[in-house]
Structures are given as structure tokens and as C-alpha cells.
Structure 1
Amino acid sequence: MSGMAKSKIWIAAASLPLLASCGGGAGEAGPLDEVAVTARSAPVAQEFQQKLKAQLVAALTNSGPESAVSVCSQVAPAIAATASEESGAEVSRIARRNRNPDAGVPAAMQSQYDALAAQPLSDGKPAVQIWRSGEGENARIHYLSAIPMQDQPCSVCHGTAVDPALKQHIDSLYPGDLATGFKPGDLRGAMLISWKADAFQ
């Protein structure tokens, strides 16, 4: 074998560890594919909201706002549980000014929620935050989609002029309710779709 051929083999072999380090070692997180996360998460969030809205509008139309609040308290958790089971993600709603105290904003997600509060809409659509948290088996990828306040039907139960009798009913179901006084366009809350990171490997 010529000296030049030996030299080429040595250079190629020496380059292997360097190339491997550029690609990331085993178990290391690669770049976050936000397009893939959105494609998988957005339909889950949209289906949740469509199902809930349909039931709330039906309750409002047929029985009035007090019935709608009662329906929401029972139906929303059931829809979230079904969506979680079917998708493989953890599906929930969170809000700083929440109706259900169990739906508060986790401390680790405050900065992402604050970003949505500062700008709930992006190009006329609900703004989104996507990020990765944790390491190893605890690594997760989160999709947080704004729920901007809409005039109807949301203002009936969440607006600035909630009927006193309705507010009393809300308080009977949710003592310490914080979810009124919103104006159209305000951030009322956010849909949280949280995946194990390996769902996107």
C-alpha cells in the first residue's frame, strides 16, 4: 500500500469521532421539529375545543347559562381524559385566571404563558409556544395554544357583565372563581398538549 493511500485511510479513521460528535451522541436531544409537533398537536387541541363548544352551545340554547356552566364542569374533564387516551399526550387547559384551581399555570411554564398573554393572536390565529423540558426518560415536548376570549358565547360566563345570579351559580361550583372580567381578545387560558419526547423520535 502506498504512503498516500495509508495517509487517506488514517485521515478518514481519525475523522469518525469528530463526525459522530457533530451528530449528537446516543440519548442526546436533536433539534426540535416544531412543524411536526404542531401537525400532531393542533388537531388534538382543536378537537377538544370543538367538542366542548358544541356541548356548551347546546346547553346554553336548550337550558340557559347555568346549565352550560354545570355541563362544562362535568364534560370538560371527560373530554380531556378521552383526548389524552386517544392521542397518547397529556391534554389539559391551564389559565392564570382560572375557574378550576387545579388548572393553574405550572411555575415551569410561566414564561411561555406570559408570552401568550402578551400576544394571544398571531396573524389572526391563536398564538402558540412549543418547547422541550426535562432530560432522559423525563423529557417532554409541550405545545401551548392560546385561548383568546371570544365575544359569544364565552362572554356570557367569562365576560365583564356576568349576570349576578349566574355568578352565584358559578361560585357554588367553583369557589374562588377567577375566570370572569375578560374582554374580547384577552388571553382566557391555553390548551396544553404535552408529549413524551420520544413520541417525536
Structure 2
Amino acid sequence: MEVDNQIVGKTESFLFLAGDEGLSVRQLMALTEQSEEQMLAIIGQLKNSYEQRQDSGLTLKLFGGSYRLVTKAEYADDIKKLLENSSPKSITQASLEVLAIIAYQQPVTRVEIDDLRGVKSEGPIHTLISNGLIMEKGRLEGSGRAILYGTTDLFLDRFGLASLSDLPPLMHNDEEDVGDTDLFMTQFQEAFEVDNNGGGNHS
């Protein structure tokens, strides 16, 4: 089946913007106004193009019913080396809030993080993933199969922890809710002396 290259490019841009959430065939059909047959042909062309190109480090994979743009497996060691050896990047207050919530509540979904913060968390989540501090830890069962996030070994290293059991306990009384972002932030920052330069006590 002949496909419209402009629609292929549009599909690629939607997949890029969706990030690690990915998009299902039906979502892509709605966004591009294509039939299922046309959409599958477009996805197939994109996937083949990525796999055949030696000058691209990306490919298209299906995870739990959603298509995602991911890095090719042959570059895994190089990417790991970059994440481990790169200097710490600036961590904004928003990213720090999300990191604190994930550290104590993991595995946790983006929706749960959003509920705790009261605002959307896509940006901070992408920042933390790019810094190698959090990663996908699986998916919820049932419809939607939301991504579960957790911290990485690099997170432990950055904050001088041997394991997650070394996280300081969150103390709260009858007037404080463990789900309160201010409580997370205050104790998380005090425990690790984190500042907005991105360093913990181990940087």
C-alpha cells in the first residue's frame, strides 16, 4: 500500500512528543485521520526505515499495545556510559518534587504523581529519565497499562545510598499527610542537602 510521506512524518512527530508513554494504533488513527490498514502500513514503513538506516540510533518498538520511539539495542552500552559519566545537570524544583515522590512511592504512575503534585509531570519525568535517575519499572495490569516509574542505581549513587532501605523515613503527624508535596520536599532536601545545581551530597 502506498503511504503519504507527509502522514509518515506527522506520525513520527506524534510518537516523538508522546515519549515513553507511546501511542496506540487507535490513538494514531485518530490523530492522523487514517484507517487502521493505512496506519499499520505507516508504522511498518517507519519501523523498516529505522531498522535499515545505519545513521540512526532510533527504532520503533511496541510495548503493551503502544508504539514508542526508543534507542537501538546496539547502543545500550554507550548510552549507559554517557549516563554514568556525564556531569550532573541542573535539577529544577519541579523535577526534585517528582524525584522525591518516585523515591518514596515507587513503583508509581504518572497519574499518581500528578495527583500528589496537583500539576502535570511529563516534563520533570522526561528530565529525570534523561538524567538517568528514574526509569520504567513495568506497567499496571488492566486497560491503559500505565507506566510504573522507579529510581535507578544511578539515583542511589548520586545520593550516596546503598539501597532504597537507606532512604530516611518520612515522619508525619495527624496534621501532616505523607502525600503532601511540601512534606516530601522539605525532608528530601534536608536529607540530601540538594540544591538547584543538580548535585546531591554525592555529586
The TM-score, its normalising length taken from structure 1, stands at 0.24
Structure showing greater radius of gyration is 1
Larger RCO of the pair (alpha carbons < 8 Å, separation 6+) = 1
The TM-score, its normalising length taken from structure 2, stands at 0.24
